[in-house]
Amino acid sequence: MTPRAALADKGYDASANRAVARARGIAPAIPYKVTAKNPPIFFPKALYRGRARIEQTVGKLKRFKRIALRCEKTAKSFGSFVALALSFILIKSVHTT
What confidence score (pLDDT) does residue 83 get? Answer: 95
Note the pLDDT tens digit of each residue in 48-67. Answer: 888 888 889 999 999 999 88
pLDDT in tens, 70-85: 888 899 999 999 999 9
Q: Is 5 helix (H, G, I), strand (E, B) or coil?
A: strand
Domain count, the chain: 2
On whether both 22 and 47 belong to a single domain, the answer is: yes
What Cα–Cα distance (Å) separates residue 1 from each residue in 30, 31, 58, 89? 21, 25, 22, 27
In degrees, to the nearest 5, what angle opens at C-alpha 32 toward C-alphas 46 and 51?
Answer: 35
Q: Are 7 and 51 in contact (CB under 8 A)?
A: yes
Same domain, 26 and 44: yes
Given 16, 33, 52, the domain boundary residue is 52
Q: Identify whether residues 5 and 31 lie together within a single domain.
A: yes
What is the tens place of the pLDDT at every residue in 9-40?
888 888 898 899 999 999 888 888 888 787 77
- Angstrom distance (rounded) from CA 41 to CA 34: 13
